[in-house]
A and B are shown apart, each in its own frame.
Chain A
Amino acid sequence: MVNFLLVDDDEVDVMNVKRAFKKNNITTPLRVASNGLEALAMLRGEGTSPVPLSRKLILLDLNMPKMGGIEFLQELRADPDLKTTPVIVLTTSDEDNDKVEAYNLNVAGYVLKPVTFSKFVEAMAALNQYWMLSEIP
């Protein structure tokens, strides 16, 4: 089972992901951090709900208070214990800068949040599918 860590500050967006998981019958546990600092703390095993060390997948929003997605990625890639963690960016930002920076920080995917929920559900299904396939070997 993959351990998802969703880093997003928008409640509707979190709801969106949860609803999309539910709609796709994805039962994978989903932990939520509302910004980069919180996410780092969870990944490093601090606080109330630490993330297991193995089989992690981070779904990362870019625009967040306290520590944004790009900053978070930089911290993550600088941490020897965490730097191999796969990250998929899930954002509304269509900025070229963000895309380039994200890819430079070795992200596994860059998903633009569609406005309509149904499209998002489709996107999540595709993502899960892909990940499952990656897990098999």
Chain B
Amino acid sequence: MLKPTRPVLLRYSIAVLAVGVALLLKLLLEPLITQESPFLLFFAAVMISAWFGGLGPGLGATALAALASDYFFLTPVYSVLGQSLSQNLRLGLFVLEGMLVSSIIAALHTARGRAEISALTAYRHQENLLQSEARFRSLVQNSSDIIMILKPDGTIGYDSPSVERILGYQPEALVGKNALAYVHPEDVSVVQATLTNIVQRSGSVVPVEYRFRHLNGSWVHLDSVGNNCLDDQSVQGIVINSRDISVAKRREAERQRAESAARFLAEASTVLTASLDYETTLANVAHLAVPRMADWCVVDIAAADRVRRLAVAHLDPAKVELIWELNRRYPEDPSGPEGIPKVLRTGQPELYPEIPDALLVAVAQDHEHLKILRELGFKSAIVLPLIARGRTLGALTFVTAESRRCYSRADLSLAEDLAYKAAFAMDNALLYREAQESEARFRRVVESNIIGIIFWDASGNITEANDAFLEMVGYTRSELLLGKLRWNDMTPAEYQTLDQKALAELAATGACTPFEKEYIRKDGSRVAILLGSALLEGSQDQGVCFVLDIRARKRAEQALRSRAAELARLTRTLEKRNRELDQFAYVTSHDLKAPLRAIANLSQWIEEDLGDALTEETQRQMNLLRGRVHRMEALINGILQYSRAGRVEAKPETLGVEQLLAEVIDSLAPPPEFTIKVEPGMPTLLTERVPLEQVFANLIGNALKHHHRRNGTVAIAAKDQGEFYEFAVADDGPGILPQYHEKVFTIFQTLEARDKVESTGIGLALVKKIVESKGGSIRLDSQAGRGTTFYFDWPKHLSAQR
């Protein structure tokens, strides 16, 4: 057991050293001590060596000491050999004693080592025991696990202190109680069965999970392992080791909730993408949320300046109509302080974990509304904005009532996820609808065939065309589909430059100014069109064209041009006729009058030359001849005047009609018995003098000339008729019979024989022509024997004239 722990070399060195020291001391003390005891100091050296080094070094020291004594002290000194017998005997005895002492000391030494080791071992054992117990106690007391020892019937014999920490009870309080009484009623049967199982099979370890009632009444999830130690004399019971797994359970529950939420959201995604109609989509959301998320759910959208309810879902289908009705009666006020309107305004979700009555009061629009709201029994609510691309499209509202469930932050978070998905789906649906509507509008434009529409590419293809276009160019749809229509092949050579210009403009600005060109139809004829084009968005070599058939317009333009040419020709003809007429009038005035004058002159010269030879009868005939000549001259003058009336234009001047009338009347030189009245209020006009003068002169002159009495009366009046003045020339002469009212205005018509009243029948025709040429009209009012009134209109302003 005792192993010399010291190294061999050290032990033997000590032996040598001890012998050396003894020798040195002996030599130093030589003079003081007698020669009789040469081995005195060497015993000590042997004993030290043996004590220190064991038997070996002891014997070694003995041998060395014997050698040294022999050499130094036994005579002969300084020689090993040659000693006397006694001295050899003394040396032998010394060696024997040394050997003996060494043996004894070594034995002693070994025995002491053994005793020490034995004592140490005993001590260590004792210590281990003590430590183990403390550890065990600490383990039991500080363990998060509960250790119980139950009797087979479930009575608690021992429970570890951790019971207090985990279950709230003082450990002593449970002792003697039946553990089953604390188990959750739902779990008792399992626990009972497990316990029975353990009792029947000694040493079995069976885990079981159950709920144990905490002192405060809540349930603690325990995971227990039972060990049958009924046969163990130190235990004599079933050791139950229980662990609190509430946290793990909670985590598990959370994990399950998260999983369920994820499943719910996944399901929601499926539902949300099922329809591209956003109203259906949102109704689906509402139905999806009930009862998983809420007792009832409504979806509202922000429409213009009001809030429109789109979907309602309720646990109780009977209440759906009630909520609709409520919304109809009390639509959400867009400026409301709380709830949906607020969320629509702010775009921030609102969580109402509890809905206090005050909130209902704030939201209610009147007493009745408040009453209904209270009856609905709101418990908790979440209102979420439906936001897509930064725009609040609507609000999703979850409400609990019947379930008495209160929403938490976790619910809000799930709801937000759902709202996000719903908003996304709604936005997609809206975009889809917009795209569809846009497409439909576009389709309508294309298919209405009001104008031709084609889609083209830069290489000359027409990829799509509507019927209007196909009809324009005389191709069929199947020919289009076969790719037979190519716009550059259809364009006549002389229009290629225009096309190139348009393409350049398209490349530069994305659109081209509409221009006119022609396409070659299938039958080879040409169709005139107006064409405008724009590149498709994001494309450089594809575009859309509108094509307008302008053949009709071109024809109309052509017709218009030929009409204009015709008119110009007519105008030229008319101008020529007018010139001819002028020429005619001129010729008449000169060439017709010249012979007349000659006749007049010659007749007078004949009269003069005959002198007294002229009979009275001849004289009268000569007078008649000249009378006729004068009448003819008057007729010619009348024709001239008539042809010029309204054709010769003079410069307009400002005329006082009263002054003008005075001059006209003066030139007519009426007989003194005749009365000519000019009524007051004659206007001042800016007009041509001569025509108006002619009109008045003729009318007044007629009244004088045709009057049946010498003392007749003529009255001239004027009346403002807006654009015109209406002048009236009234006489109290013989009057004109109704059947002649039209006829008097015809040229060369006279009512009396020319011999009775010298008249050309030109006057009224001339008046009518002048008045009408000024844009006015003339009429007469007359009864036989009651005089005649001529009315005529004369324009106030030149602009009203023809």
A residues sitting closer than 8 Å to B (CB atoms) are: 10, 12-13, 15-16, 19, 62-63, 91-95, 113, 115-118, 120
Which of B17-25, B146-154, B517-525, B590-598 forms part of the interface with chain A?
B590-598
Asked if B661 is at the interface (CB within 8 A of a chain A CB), the reply is no
Contact (Cβ within 8 A) B590 A115: no
Q: What residues of B have a CB within 8 angstroms of the CB of A118 in the complex?
A: 604
Interface centre among B594, B601, B605, B630 (most CB of A within 10 A): B601
Complexed CA–CA distance, A15 and B601 (Å):
10
Question: How extensive is the interface on chain B, given as a class?
Answer: 10 to 19
Complexed CA–CA distance, A20 and B589 (Å):
23
Q: Residue A12 contacts which of B589, B602, B626, B633 (CB distance < 8 angstroms)?
A: B602
Q: What residues of A have a CB within 8 angstroms of the CB of B600 in the complex?
A: 115-117
Asked if B629 is at the interface (CB within 8 A of a chain A CB), the reply is yes
Asked if B740 is at the interface (CB within 8 A of a chain A CB), the reply is no
* Interchain residue pairs A-B with the least CB separation, the first 5: A12-B598, A117-B601, A117-B604, A115-B597, A63-B590
A131 to chain B, nearest CB (A): 23
Contact (Cβ within 8 A) A95 B604: no
- Given the known interface contacts A115-B630, A117-B604, the answer about A92 and B598 at a Cβ–Cβ threshold of 8 Å is no
Q: Residue B629 contacts which of A63, A113, A115 (CB distance < 8 angstroms)?
A: A115
Q: What residues of A have a CB within 8 angstroms of the CB of B598 in the complex?
A: 10, 12-13
Q: What residues of B have a CB within 8 angstroms of the CB of A12 in the complex?
A: 597-598, 601-602
Asked if B674 is at the interface (CB within 8 A of a chain A CB), the reply is no
B596 to chain A, nearest CB (A): 7
A9 to chain B, nearest CB (A): 10
Asked if B586 is at the interface (CB within 8 A of a chain A CB), the reply is yes
Q: What residues of A have a CB within 8 angstroms of the CB of B589 in the complex?
A: 92-95
Contact code string B592-625 (vs A, CB < 8 Å = 1, else 0)? 0110111011101100000000000000000000
Give the number of residue pairs across the A-B interface with Cβ within 8 Å. 47
- Interchain Cβ contacts under 8 Å between A and B, 6 examples: A10-B594, A92-B590, A92-B593, A115-B596, A115-B597, A117-B600
Q: What residues of A have a CB within 8 angstroms of the CB of B629 in the complex?
A: 115
B647 to chain A, nearest CB (A): 13
A116 to chain B, nearest CB (A): 6
Q: What residues of B have a CB within 8 angstroms of the CB of A93 in the complex?
A: 586, 589-590
Contact (Cβ within 8 A) A113 B597: yes
B360 to chain A, nearest CB (A): 104
Complexed CA–CA distance, A19 and B609 (Å):
12
Q: What residues of A have a CB within 8 angstroms of the CB of B630 in the complex?
A: 115
Q: What residues of A have a CB within 8 angstroms of the CB of B593 in the complex?
A: 92, 115
Interface centre among A16, A19, A92 (most CB of B within 10 A): A92
Q: What residues of B have a CB within 8 angstroms of the CB of A116 in the complex?
A: 600-601, 604, 626
- The chain B residue sitting closest to A116, CB to CB, is B600
Q: Residue A92 contacts which of B597, B601, B605 (CB distance < 8 angstroms)?
A: B597
Q: What residues of A have a CB within 8 angstroms of the CB of B594 in the complex?
A: 10, 13, 63, 92
Complexed CA–CA distance, A91 and B589 (Å):
11
Q: What residues of B have a CB within 8 angstroms of the CB of A16 in the complex?
A: 601
- The chain B residue sitting closest to A11, CB to CB, is B598
Contact (Cβ within 8 A) A115 B633: yes
Complexed CA–CA distance, A90 and B601 (Å):
16
Considering only residues 694-717 of chain B, those with a C-beta below 8 Å from chain A are: none
Complexed CA–CA distance, A93 and B637 (Å):
12
B624 to chain A, nearest CB (A): 15
Contact (Cβ within 8 A) A63 B591: yes
Complexed CA–CA distance, A93 and B594 (Å):
10
Contact code string B292-321 (vs A, CB < 8 Å = 1, else 0)? 000000000000000000000000000000
Complexed CA–CA distance, A120 and B600 (Å):
12
Q: What residues of B have a CB within 8 angstroms of the CB of A15 in the complex?
A: 601, 605
Interface class of chain B by DSSP: helix
B691 to chain A, nearest CB (A): 15
- The chain A residue sitting closest to B593, CB to CB, is A92
Complexed CA–CA distance, A117 and B633 (Å):
15
- The chain B residue sitting closest to A19, CB to CB, is B605
Complexed CA–CA distance, A16 and B594 (Å):
12
- The chain B residue sitting closest to A12, CB to CB, is B598
- The chain B residue sitting closest to A63, CB to CB, is B590
Complexed CA–CA distance, A35 and B435 (Å):
96
Complexed CA–CA distance, A10 and B601 (Å):
13
Complexed CA–CA distance, A62 and B594 (Å):
12
Contact (Cβ within 8 A) B586 A95: yes
Complexed CA–CA distance, A110 and B600 (Å):
22
A7 to chain B, nearest CB (A): 15
B599 to chain A, nearest CB (A): 9
- The chain A residue sitting closest to B601, CB to CB, is A117
Q: What residues of A have a CB within 8 angstroms of the CB of B590 in the complex?
A: 62-63, 91-93
Complexed CA–CA distance, A118 and B591 (Å):
21
Considering only residues 556-591 of chain B, those with a C-beta below 8 Å from chain A are: 586, 589-591
Complexed CA–CA distance, A62 and B587 (Å):
12
B680 to chain A, nearest CB (A): 36
Complexed CA–CA distance, A48 and B172 (Å):
183
B371 to chain A, nearest CB (A): 105
Complexed CA–CA distance, A13 and B596 (Å):
12
A31 to chain B, nearest CB (A): 21
- The chain A residue sitting closest to B598, CB to CB, is A12
Interface centre among B586, B589, B590, B629 (most CB of A within 10 A): B590
Q: What residues of A have a CB within 8 angstroms of the CB of B633 in the complex?
A: 115
Complexed CA–CA distance, A81 and B600 (Å):
39
Complexed CA–CA distance, A116 and B629 (Å):
10
Q: What residues of B have a CB within 8 angstroms of the CB of A91 in the complex?
A: 590
Complexed CA–CA distance, A116 and B586 (Å):
21
Complexed CA–CA distance, A117 and B607 (Å):
12
A72 to chain B, nearest CB (A): 16
Complexed CA–CA distance, A136 and B781 (Å):
64
A91 to chain B, nearest CB (A): 8
Complexed CA–CA distance, A117 and B630 (Å):
13
Q: What residues of B have a CB within 8 angstroms of the CB of A113 in the complex?
A: 597
Contact code string B627-655 (vs A, CB < 8 Å = 1, else 0)? 00110010000000000000000000000
Complexed CA–CA distance, A115 and B604 (Å):
11
Interface centre among B589, B597, B598, B605 (most CB of A within 10 A): B597
Complexed CA–CA distance, A12 and B633 (Å):
17
- The chain B residue sitting closest to A16, CB to CB, is B601
Complexed CA–CA distance, A91 and B596 (Å):
14
B643 to chain A, nearest CB (A): 13
Q: What residues of A have a CB within 8 angstroms of the CB of B605 in the complex?
A: 15, 19, 117
Q: What residues of B have a CB within 8 angstroms of the CB of A19 in the complex?
A: 605
- The chain B residue sitting closest to A10, CB to CB, is B594
Q: What residues of A have a CB within 8 angstroms of the CB of B626 in the complex?
A: 116
Q: What residues of A have a CB within 8 angstroms of the CB of B602 in the complex?
A: 12
B603 to chain A, nearest CB (A): 9
Complexed CA–CA distance, A13 and B591 (Å):
13
Interface centre among A19, A93, A116 (most CB of B within 10 A): A116
Complexed CA–CA distance, A121 and B159 (Å):
175
Q: What residues of A have a CB within 8 angstroms of the CB of B586 in the complex?
A: 93, 95
A129 to chain B, nearest CB (A): 22
Complexed CA–CA distance, A118 and B626 (Å):
13
Complexed CA–CA distance, A17 and B771 (Å):
43
Q: What residues of B have a CB within 8 angstroms of the CB of A117 in the complex?
A: 600-601, 604-605
Complexed CA–CA distance, A4 and B593 (Å):
25
Known pairs A13-B597, A93-B589. 8 more at Cβ < 8 A? A10-B594, A19-B605, A92-B593, A115-B597, A115-B600, A115-B630, A116-B604, A116-B626
- The chain A residue sitting closest to B591, CB to CB, is A63
B379 to chain A, nearest CB (A): 112
Complexed CA–CA distance, A113 and B601 (Å):
11
B594 to chain A, nearest CB (A): 6
Complexed CA–CA distance, A13 and B593 (Å):
12
- The chain A residue sitting closest to B630, CB to CB, is A115
B109 to chain A, nearest CB (A): 181
A93 to chain B, nearest CB (A): 5
A61 to chain B, nearest CB (A): 10
Complexed CA–CA distance, A133 and B598 (Å):
31
Complexed CA–CA distance, A94 and B630 (Å):
17
Considering only residues 245-280 of chain B, those with a C-beta below 8 Å from chain A are: none
Q: What residues of A have a CB within 8 angstroms of the CB of B591 in the complex?
A: 63
